Structure 1
Amino acid sequence: MTNDTPVRPATAFAVAALGIFVFSGMDAVMKGLVLALGVYTTMFWRSLAGAILSGALYAGTRSPWPTRAAMRLHLIRGLVSVVMALSFFWGLARIPMAQAIALAFIAPILSLFLAALILKEHVPRGSVIACACAAGGVALILTGQARADLGREALAGTIAVLLSAVCYAFNIILMRAQAQVAKPIEVAFWQSLIVSTCLLIAAPWFADVPDSQHIPTILGAAVLATVSLLLLGWAYQHGEASYLAPTEYTSFVWAAILGWLVFAEPLSPWTLAGAALIVAGCFIAARGKPTAVPQLEVAP
């Protein structure tokens, strides 16, 4: 599915940056909920609320049933998103927001190597250098953790966020491919529905019914998640992925501000240095990156 209406690149960039800002706000809300309710309960009810909200919007568009290729992408991305979200929010409850986002920055670099593996693309020399920079950045952040003696919980949280980053790297490739075959509202609805359905399987054992005081916050997180999915889906439909990639780095600024304001989290110099190395690696990788949107083979 393509859109022939021309959109200024700056407009797509601004919409993507707004989407990242909204997503960062959702991260802060989710961290508070995870600390209060646990990761599974929070994810299940937020995803269910998101599916209902996006489903109402999707039904209003009277869109046709997704094509077979689009549905396969929806299913794959939904399954990947379950692991990605559970591991990220579990880790986010154990380490500062800015540190979690900094670690997640390795995803754009990892996506280049996954593109080589999945799409058979050539890995340029710059990507290897970028990977070394990212590894150095992660090492600096881990060094800061060790010096601060944050304990095993922080280390486990870091490992969980790194696992989530690997999933997000794959998610980036899927998001680019989805934007070519489905509208943003379709992407938002099916992702929320698939994630909530997967979580529903184990909900009788792991999910609790939240107190009424948490319901408005869960609904707020669902609204923020849906809005961010719509904004990013629209932006990637109208702008080249390599041009929009730098908007991901603004999330570190929002995470640092929200972490300090909401959770009184200090910003470690080690985290700043590590984030700088990782972001530098991302820009090195992006310099040699082709601007064409990669295509996944989704035909049966």
Structure 2
Amino acid sequence: MLVLSHHDDWKDRVMNSLVGIVWKLAATCFFAVMIAIIKYASATVPTGQVVFYRCFFALFPLLIVAIMQGKLRDSLRTARPWLHFRRALVGASGMFCWFSAVGLMPLPEATAISFLSPLMVVALAAIFLKEKVRFYRWTAVAAGFIGVLIILWPRLSQSDGDVALLGAFFAAISTIFIASTSIMVRQMTRSETNAAIIFYFFVATSCFSLVSLIWGWVLPDWQIIGLLVLAGVMGGLGQMLMTQAFRLTEASLLAPFDYVNMIWAVIIGILVFDEYPSMPVIIGGTIVILAGMFVVYRERALGLARKAELRVKPL
């Protein structure tokens, strides 16, 4: 019976991992559709207004599911509201920069630069969390920066009047903000629920985006309004799928599937926006992705080593 029990436990873990991967892939698909809509709408709608639609309408699927599951109180309960404010301020800045980048430059190029975020997390964790980062991971971070420089080199060498260079700047800055929010969320999970972290981020960011009214919003046509509402809903659904995936599967196992976003970006860029990745984007993007995947591999290996050490440690 003991053998059967272990066998059943192994089967459950495998099944949970497979389901978690499916949810993760579905989330990347939802986010890809969302970002395609945002890129399309950014041609006529200011970035701050886009941020508002993205966050405000993402609240509806989150609240509906929370009410259906009887977990609305978990979404509202917080012990440290200041942490939510700080995280939302940094996250809103990152979202503003990212949406600006998507609107100003080809989608495959912006997506390739965005993959610098996991590498930035390594650097920021070493600086602010005092995590021990060894030579191999620092090498991966350096390789990632080289990859981004390869992507940007054609624009840096011919920068006159290139609006996409400004987009590349926004994309690079967004990776710092996004990595910073990842560090903050690591700290917040010690006292806050995932539901509260997501809920208060969308509420606060919706409020922050209203500040951009000062610089002027526009009244788009009904088609654009419908698409922006859809983008917000898709973003909320994608966030829910991602949360469910992390509930079922280890983060280190799911992390490599983030790079599926590059496949969606290339497909959408070609089919919808007639944007083809250039050779520097292909070469530099590949370097950034490989560097990121190496970091994921090292994190997983170190995590397994720590678990093994705990198991053999005498009581």
Q: Give the superposition deviation at 1:55.
A: 3.5
The corresponding residue for 1:163 is 173
CA distance in 2, matches of 1:51, 1:285: 33
Question: Per-residue CA shift, 1:132-186, capped at 9, x if unaligned?
Answer: 2111111111123357878431111101000001111123334455667666554
CA contact (8 A) 2:98 2:170 kept: yes
Q: Which residue of 1 aligns with 2:95?
A: 85
The alpha-carbon distance between structure 1 residues 147 and 257, as it changes in their structure 2 partners (threshold 3 A), is: farther
| Alpha-carbon separation, structure 2, partners of 1:43 and 1:140 | 30
1:89-104 aligned within 5 A:
89-104=99-114
Change (3 A) 1:10 1:178: farther
Q: Measure, in 2, the Cα distance between the counterparts of 1:243 and 1:167.
A: 24
Q: Quick check: 2:147–2:284 contact (8 Å CA) kept in 1?
A: yes
Residue equivalent to 1:26: 34
Structure 1 residues 101 and 221: CA distance shift in structure 2, 3 A: same
Residues 60-75 of structure 1: pairs in structure 2 closer than 5 A: 60=68, 61-64=70-73, 65-69=76-80, 71-75=81-85
Q: Distance in 2 between matches of 1:261 and 1:140?
A: 25
Question: Identity over aligned residues, as a percent?
Answer: 24
Q: Is the 8 A contact 1:241 1:291 kept in 2?
A: no
Deviates more, 1:180-189 or 1:11-20: 180-189
Deviations 1:17-38 (A, max 9, x none): 2212211111111000111212
- 2:236 corresponding residue in structure 1: 226
TM-score by length of 2: 0.82
Map 1:209-248; keep pairs closer than 5 Å: 209-248=219-258
Q: Which runs of 5+ in 2 are unaligned?
A: 1-11, 305-315
Pick one of 167, 176, 183 that aligns with 1:173: 183
**CA deviations over 1:185-230 (Å, ceiling 9, x no partner):** 5444322111101112342443333332322101110111001111
Equivalent position SS for 1:267:
coil
SS in 1 for 2:58: helix
Q: Which amino acid aligns with 1:37?
A: V
Q: Is the alpha carbon distance of 1:239 and 1:79 closer, same or farther for their aligned partners in structure 2, counting shifts above 3 Å?
A: farther
When normalised by structure 1's length, the TM-score is 0.86
- Aligned partner letter, 2:16: R
TM-superposed deviation, 1:252: 0.5
8 Å Cα contact 2:123-2:141 kept in structure 1: no
In 1: Cα distance, 2:38 partner to 2:62 partner: 18
Runs of 4+ in 1 over 6 A off after TM superposition: 147-150
- How many pairs does the alignment contain? 287
Following superposition of structure 1 onto structure 2, how do residues 2-81 of structure 1 map, counting pairs within 5 Å?
8-60=16-68, 61-64=70-73, 65-69=76-80, 71-81=81-91
Verify the 8 A CA contact 2:97 2:171 in the aligned structure 1.
yes
Whether the 8 Å CA contact 1:141–1:274 is kept in 2: the answer is yes
Deviation string 1:8-58 (CA, Å, 9 cap, x unpaired) is: 223222212221221111111100011121212222233222234433443
d(CA) in 1 for partners of 2:104, 2:234: 22
| CA RMSD after TM alignment | 2.5
Tell me the equivalent position of 1:200: 210
Identify unmatched segments of 5+ residues in structure 1: 293-300
Greater Cα offset, 179-188 or 149-158: 179-188
Structure showing greater Rg: 2
User: In structure 2, what is the Cα distance between the partners aligned to 1:76 and 1:85?
Assistant: 14
Cα distance, 1:265 vs structure 2: 0.4
Greater displacement, 203-212 / 137-146: 203-212
SS state at 1:263 partner: coil
8 Å contact kept, 2:98–2:174: yes
1:291 matches 2:298 = no
Shift in alpha-carbon separation, 1:180–1:256, aligned structure 2, 3 A: farther
Counterpart position of 1:295: none
Q: Report if aligned partners of 2:49, 2:210 keep a CA contact under 8 Å in 1.
A: no
Q: Contact 1:134 / 1:281 at 8 angstroms: preserved in 2?
A: yes
1:269 has 2:285 as partner? no
